[in-house]
Structures are given as C-alpha cells and as structure tokens.
Structure 1
Amino acid sequence: MMFLLILFTSASLFSSSSNALDFCVGDLSAPQGPAGYSCKEGEAVTVKDFVFSGFRVAGNTSNVMKAAVTPAFSTQFPGVNGLDVSLARLDLAVGGRTAMHTHPEATEVLIIIQGTLCAGFISSTNKVYLTSLHEGDVMAFPQGLTHFQINVGKTPALAFASFSSTSPGIYFMDYAWFANDLPTQILQETTFLDSDQIKKLKELLGGIN
C-alpha cells in the first residue's frame, strides 16, 4: 500500500513538473532578466498569450530610412518567452533600407514576401556575402554579423524575419556613431571622415555636433 502511494505521488509530481515545463509565458509586469521574463502563473495564462496580431498592419516608413520594423519579441509576444524564437515584420518603401546592424543574441532568417531586396552580411574575416532577393527567397544572417537590406525594386517591399532568440537585440552602426554627442574630433580620428561629413550625419540622425 505504501509502495502504491509513493508511486502515485511520484507520478503526480512528474506530471505537474512536465506540464510546468511546457512553456513559460512571460509576465510582462515583472522585470526582464538575462534569461527573459519570469513565468506567468498557470491560471493566468490564456490562448491570447500565444497569438500576436501586430503584423496585420504595415509599419510606418515615413522616416529617414524609409523602413519600419514591427517586432514580435517576448516583450510584445509573451507566449514565445523562453522558447528561443521570435519574429519581426520588415516594411521597406521604395529606396528604403535598414542601416548596417547586428543582432548580438540571435541568427536571423529572412523570407521575402513582396518586392526585391539587395541584402548581405560581412563575416568576421571581412568577406562580403551580397545578393539580390526576390519574392519567395530566404536568406540567413549569422548571429552577431553586420548585415543590411535595401529595397532596390520599384514597389514597396515586405519581408518577415525569424530569430533564434526571444530577445535578439539590435545594434545599428550609424546610430551608434552619429546619433549621440560623441565629439566630432573623436569621430574624425576613428572613422577618417571629415568634419563636414560627420556634422551632416549627426544632423540627419539626430546627434549633437
């Protein structure tokens, strides 16, 4: 009898533990740590946590880059918290582009839904991998490597990206250099650009000369 009681208790604990490990819907009211958000209590989780509807509407491309990124990371889509996957919608007006950037925490896979893009990345040995992407094409951008996309077609472009992290991070080179108050003289010394070019870029991207 005691053996059966122990067996039943162990099975119940195992079952509860397995269910608890199925997912960890992010509790967005709690701080986000290095491992993501803490888990919502089970009774607070609903199917809505696993649905994201933000891709229904095109992003606003009326900006200097003529581009818009709509993220579905753990902050916007709590159901992916802890699942090592997330998504984003990329809208590019004619002539639009994403500035040179990296995702420190994730590899990106991009699928082209509409339009034609010039896209590429630069390896750690400074080799350039550059191509044209058309509707239905898919391209991978390895984690941490500098990459970009440019709409070279005559119509707006649409693409969707998936990432191997719920919080891939993004680091824009141009904004890191010119959208701040780093002295022009320092930028001259470290980029070999002249002061007029630096001032123009700072003005364009919202930096302070």
Structure 2
Amino acid sequence: MKPFAPFFFMLLFLEAFSNIQVCLGDCDNLQDTCPAVPPNKQTIFINGLQCKNPVNVTAQDFRTTELSKAGPTDIFGASLKIVSAAEFNGLNTLGLSIGRIDLDGNGLVNFHYHPRATEIIFVTKGVLLAGFVDTKNQFFQKFLKVGDVFVFPKALFHFCLNTGFEESTVFSVYNSQNPGFVSLSPTTFDTTLESLDKIKKRLMSLSASEA
C-alpha cells in the first residue's frame, strides 16, 4: 500500500483543487437580485451588504440619478464620482459599480487605482488623454474622443487628462460592487500651478507618438 500513498494523496489534492471556485471579479450572486439595505440600517456586518426582504423590492431599487450631475472639482480641475452598491442598492451582489468623471479644460484626474476592480471608461464629451502604468513602469496611453472606450486593468495606477479647451465627461463601469479608490495624496508632492503644468506637459510629451 505504501508505494501508492503519494499517488493517492496527489489524486486527493487534484480533486480538492478542481472544486475551488476562482472569481475573476466579485463572486457570482446566488439569486436573481438582492437590493441592499442602506448601511445606516444594517445590524450585522458581512462581506457585502444585506439584502432587502424580497417582498419589499421595487423597480426603484434598480434606478439611480447619482450620475445625472457633475460633482465638485478638486485642485486638478476634475470631478470623480463612484456609485457603488452602498449608494445604488440594486447593484448589490451583481459585481458592478458605475462612475462619472468631469474635467475642466486642461483638467487632470490624478494618478489613482482601484484595488478590487478593472475600470472601463466611455467618453461622452470632449477630447482627453487616458493611460495607465503597469508593474514594469511601462506607460500605455491613448488620446480619446467622443465614443471611444478605454480600459484600466485592475489595481494599476491610471489617469485622465483633458487635452481640449472645453469640458469633458466620461462614464465608467467597474467589475466590483466596491472597487475601492487609492490616490496619490496631494500632500505628497508640490501642487502649485507651475508643478501641475509640468505634470501635464510630461504626460503629453510621453504620448506625442499616440496623436
């Protein structure tokens, strides 16, 4: 029996591994819908949000006006709004979040990343430069116009720069109901207008061949 022991344990290992579910985004939901209970009404904490009682679910749970207007702009001339399942109850368990970016002329969405999600953007107004940096410090950048789509891989630093004189608007979809947001803090570097202009010019020069 002993000569067969390694082979036997190998079979057990392969059987166990084959039954492990691998989730490339948020794990699949186990029912059709699960509109979330608002966080301030939750009584327990779980990896996600509690579901409403099915008898209380309505069509309103699957509609939001959160992205109908731009939010306030930051020191870079950008407004970034992310609507997750916490704000849009109907997204709960569906593995999705949505967002809106508005950029003033020459505005910049500072370098940031989403630790739990890949992001796809769709340009609806203006012209901009979008790009990301991979783990080998290689830049991937492209000029985008209305109707263009660009993807930022999960957990990689990325940015958007308005290269026109008019405002630009971008809508985003994330493959997580809670994508997270990690940004380079403005306090970690000089944010004078002169320094910000240098950052923008540097990004433009890196993408000169992409025009």
Structure 2 length normalisation: TM-score?
A: 0.71
Choose which of 120, 126, 137 in structure 2 pairs with 1:126.
Answer: 137
> Structure 2 CA distance, aligned partners of 1:34 and 1:105?
17
1:70 aligns with 2:92: no
Q: Which amino acid aligns with 2:50?
A: S
> Structure 2 CA distance, aligned partners of 1:31 and 1:111?
37
> Structure 1 CA distance, aligned partners of 2:46 and 2:136?
29
Q: Which amino acid aligns with 2:135?
A: S
SS at match of 1:43: helix
How many residue pairs get matched?
162
Choose which of 69, 93, 104 in structure 2 pairs with 1:93.
Answer: 104
Q: After TM superposition, what 4+ stretches of structure 1 lie above 6 angstroms from structure 2? A: none
Judged with a 3 Å threshold, the aligned counterparts in structure 2 of structure 1 residues 115 and 79 are, in CA distance, closer, same or farther, namely same
Judged with a 3 Å threshold, the aligned counterparts in structure 2 of structure 1 residues 113 and 39 are, in CA distance, closer, same or farther, namely same
SS at match of 2:60: helix
1:154 aligns with 2:165: yes
| Farther off after superposition, 134-143 or 31-40 | 31-40
Q: Please name the residue that 2:181 is paired with.
A: 170
> Structure 2 CA distance, aligned partners of 1:34 and 1:165?
16
SS at match of 1:49: helix
Does the aligned pair in 2 maintain the 1:52–1:72 contact within 8 Å? no
Does the aligned pair in 2 maintain the 1:68–1:91 contact within 8 Å? yes
Q: Please name the residue that 1:56 is paired with.
A: 68
Deviations 1:90-109 (A, max 9, x none): 11111111110000000000
- Give ranges in structure 2 of 5+ residues lacking alignment: 1-29, 196-211
Q: Please name the residue that 2:198 is paired with.
A: none
Q: Please name the residue that 1:26 is paired with.
A: 36
SS at match of 1:94: coil
Choose which of 30, 52, 67 in structure 2 pairs with 1:40.
Answer: 52
Judged with a 3 Å threshold, the aligned counterparts in structure 2 of structure 1 residues 154 and 34 are, in CA distance, closer, same or farther, namely farther
Does the aligned pair in 2 maintain the 1:93–1:157 contact within 8 Å? yes
Judged with a 3 Å threshold, the aligned counterparts in structure 2 of structure 1 residues 34 and 124 are, in CA distance, closer, same or farther, namely farther
> Structure 2 CA distance, aligned partners of 1:138 and 1:33?
36
> Structure 2 CA distance, aligned partners of 1:70 and 1:32?
27
Does the aligned pair in 2 maintain the 1:31–1:37 contact within 8 Å? no
Deviation at 1:33, TM superposition (A): 4.9
Judged with a 3 Å threshold, the aligned counterparts in structure 2 of structure 1 residues 167 and 68 are, in CA distance, closer, same or farther, namely same
Judged with a 3 Å threshold, the aligned counterparts in structure 2 of structure 1 residues 101 and 72 are, in CA distance, closer, same or farther, namely same
> Structure 2 CA distance, aligned partners of 1:167 and 1:65?
25
Cα-Cα RMSD: 2.1
How much identity, in percent, do the aligned residues show?
30
SS at match of 1:79: helix
- Give ranges in structure 1 of 5+ residues lacking alignment: 1-19, 180-197, 205-209
> Structure 1 CA distance, aligned partners of 2:102 and 2:68?
12
Structure 1 length normalisation: TM-score?
A: 0.72
Q: Please name the residue that 1:102 is paired with.
A: 113
